[in-house]
Amino acid sequence: MILLETLLYIIKNGKVLLIRKKRGLGAGYFNGVGGKVEDNEDVNNAAIRECIEEIGVKPRGLKWMGLLEFWNYDNNAIESIHFVHVFTASDYNGEPRESDEAEPLWFNINEIPFNSMWEDDSLWLPLILSGRRIYGRFIFNKWRMISHEVHSICT
């Protein structure tokens, strides 16, 4: 299964808006807002749509910050490969609200709750929050990370 997905981080007044995911892949973890790109949808619009669906705000000032690949093995078989386009946004319209998918919470940029996030996040999210564009590839077995590579992209 190959999946195209988005992640979006709204950064404003020195804080970043995360969600506590309430269901599906990564339930219980903090993450950016995001999800699967739909057929015939571009990744930019998918990032905006997921943000509206999950926390009820329309992000503004979107910036493409990079691409992540998550390869998840089940021993020798590939279970899924996720291609994830990552964006930041500098502003938004509306007020963040909880939905059945997500609870929004603001964190100081230097107080991100990495202990309650996917294992890979601490390897690349600080780069993005400091304005760097990245490419990363992370290999998992049954969703435990077994190897990784992260590169800054010069633009």
Ligand X SMILES: CNc1ncnc2c1ncn2[C@@H]1O[C@H](COP(=O)(O)OP(=O)(O)OP(=O)(O)O)[C@@H](O)[C@H]1O
- Applying CB under 6 A, the residues found at the interface with ligand X are 5-7, 24-26, 31, 34-36, 70, 82, 84, 118, 120-121
Alpha helices (H) in the chain, listed in sequence order: 43-55, 121-129
- Tell the smallest beta-carbon distance from residue 148 to ligand X (Å): 10
- Tell the smallest beta-carbon distance from residue 52 to ligand X (Å): 12
Whichever of 7 and 55 has its CB closer to ligand X, that residue is 7
Q: 14 φ, ψ to 5°?
A: 75, 10
Whichever of 13 and 80 has its CB closer to ligand X, that residue is 80
Whichever of 26 and 61 has its CB closer to ligand X, that residue is 26
Residue whose C-beta lies closest to ligand X: 35
Show the tokens assigned to 67: 């691409």
- Tell the smallest beta-carbon distance from residue 94 to ligand X (Å): 19
Cα separation, 126 vs 35, whole angstroms: 21
Residue with tokens 């999800």: 35
- Tell the smallest beta-carbon distance from residue 118 to ligand X (Å): 3
Nearest Cα to 74, choosing from 149, 148, 146, 150?
146
Whichever of 92 and 123 has its CB closer to ligand X, that residue is 123
Nearest Cα to 87, choosing from 41, 129, 58?
129
